[in-house]
Structure 1
Amino acid sequence: PNLPTNRDERLVLASQDPLVRTVEDVRATITLRPRAGTPRTVSLPVSVLAPPSLVGSSRIDLEPERVVLTLRGPENLLAALAPAPSYSIGASAKAAPIGGGTEKASYESLLMGLIIRKLHLPAEARARIATLAEGLFQTYREGLLQLDGETQFAARLLAESLQDFIEVLVAWMRGQYQFDPVAVELPFGQRDEAPPWRLELENGRCLELYGRIDRVDLARKPDGRNAYCVVVDYKSGQKKLDPVLLEQGLQLQLLAYLGVLRHWPNPQAAFGVEKLVPAGVFYVNLRGQYPAQNNRLKSLADPGQARRQAYRHTGRFDLQILRLLDGRADATSGDQFNYRLTKAGKVHGGCREPMEPAAFAGLLNAVEDHLRNMGQKILAGTAEVAPFQKGALTACKYCQYQGICRIDPWTHPFRVLRRAAAAGDDAEEATN
């Protein structure tokens, strides 16, 4: 009942060759004119817009100088499109971005295909990744991934891993996830229409934050004026929000992104809504975290379930939007998101990620307080040499300057992190 009314989106695609007669041969230039914001022109093959299940159907009309494609989907399907992102295909999933030329166009095609995902089946999305990856392998860094058998094997593994990820993601989007991706690699503080997030400090000073958000998803409220927003951050490995690090202000980046959206100066121009309502933040492991099994038979018993568990999102979210995250009305536990419900329909006591609305808002406010406190300390010249320790983890573990640092990790008295004394269940819930 909360989904927007469907309507037809009619796109007229200008063909580069008036004699082209097959969908596979057409490369189209498309101008998207959102309800708010600047029109954007992209160039991509029609086959990305028209999945194999639609090719040859009455929805596609090939004419001498144009292709008319009618898409049916949510009303806000093409309301917004982010700037073309960079994407990495190297050993580190977030390093060495591909830049310009065919690589950027290919990934942009993939992005468009995901945005109109309602027309794709998971298997079709998997096949599309294989095609795009094969093209990238030939051109990436002048054939770097084609040097020898070792690099070719690594490239195939990367492609298969991305295929697994996209197949699972598209299945979730088609079947249960009610949010729509509206922006990727969204910059703030780097261009005029997206100013930095400004936090007022004492004595007329301020702290300005700028950066780039991997992905922003929206679910419009029934009135169409406001929308719930979710931030998705892609990682090359497993990462979770830790209650102690959150409480101590040492794990702020992901929730700060949601603060940026909460205070976005003109959401109507960028997102087509009057207000963005924070709903959740999630890390997504691009490589997948597969559960360990006792033997090979158990590992291969249900590959689909294993993949869903491997790509489960981790983070924090507002409990009141649970059925927008997981639209399965009878579900008592999540596969895309981490939650469990009791027989009474309440959240299980051991679940930290779903939070009551007041506690979730309190967590966002606490993040802003931490940022302001950091700003005050920076301007006051505070620079303590006090690396933390939490269990076996220390701030020095991943530091790249250990070779020149005078701190001896064997003898240094680390700043030990502990949970603050809980003043009742509410205090603990605010950080869980």
Structure 2
Amino acid sequence: MSGRRASALMIGALAITQTAGYGILYYAFSVFITPMSRDLHAGVAEITGAITVAVLVSALVAPAVGRRLDRRGGRGLMTAGAVLGAAAVLAWSQVQSVLQLYLVCAALGVASAMVLYEAAFAVIVAWFDAARRARALLAVTVVAGFASSIFLPLTGLLVERYGWRQALVILAAGYALAAVPLHALAVRSRPTPPHAGRREIVGAALRERPFWLLAAAFLTQTGAVAVMGVLLVTYLIALGHRPVFAATVAGLLGVLSVTGRLVTTGLQARWRVSLITAAMFAMQGAAALLLPLVGRSTAGAVGSVVLFGLGFGVGTIARPALLADRYGTAAYGSLSGALALPITVAKALAPLIAAGMAQAAGYGVVMGAVAACCGLGALSLVAYDRRGRTRPASGHEHVR
């Protein structure tokens, strides 16, 4: 198989598996909360805590997964992760207690670290040269950006027709049939020998300021995005909007995230990724400040959400681009895993902290905190751009 054909096949396969993976291993959980709460005789908070466990576990195993990706490539790891993910969803259908649900979600967290964006991006970064990498990342994330739009209503229909347990069995079978063979057959392993100086690359990165500026930028913005993703519907209702309107407007975030990724990738031909991303983060901060001021009107609410949503998925494609551009590809998985640990923890905990802030001080304070986090992310990227343009001696590029 030619390199070009293999590359196209891999991108198509990853677009499918990322869409199914996020849809089934993450987004579908929200549809099951109510029926599980009833059948397991547990509160909504107890049930919801299970997905937090999954996210935290995925963060904890991310560094180890990254190192494994650097050493062996992604084919075996992602195939095994797909098997584990399907088995965990199948086991989920049989849980009889909250403890069993938490154990299943811990397994889902491990599987997620092995098969979702961090792993897929490591495969893409290792396989494509810098000229083609941005388009490859964009292709995968544009398709996967519709995961919630596809799998939330699909899961709802399955639950309504078959019940939540049978719905999970169907989803497990579907994920196994799609992800296992696609990962096994289409994912390409690292096309060049392992880099002997990988540990030195990682050690040097962890000792320098630009790496920690990247960490600060994406940690703060990821926390802000997680808060908006979880609390936006509730806040719009608190502002006086009807629940259907609030849910519809919040649903724009998924579509807008795709739009923002397309815009960001298009602008990379003229401006540096760090500055484009900083501008997007700053725009999100402005939107969070505007929402309490103009959000009671329909136009104000929609306009604020549109501004915030354009930056909703930008960090997803900017982080691998910035990491690979500065540090090369030889240790990308290890560095990405090191970044993913604090960033994913922020994603898991920020909504819980924000919910407490909203109860104690109101949603206006929460929006102020979201704006501050986005602003800090933007400033960190501007500082990175000033200090981080000179690329250190690092891994070589792999050209395909």
Please indicate, yes or no, whether the TM-score normalized by the shorter chain is above 0.5: no
Q: TM-score, normalised by structure 1?
A: 0.26
* More helix as a share of residues: 2
Q: TM-score, normalised by structure 2?
A: 0.27
* More strand as a share of residues: 1
Larger Rg: 1
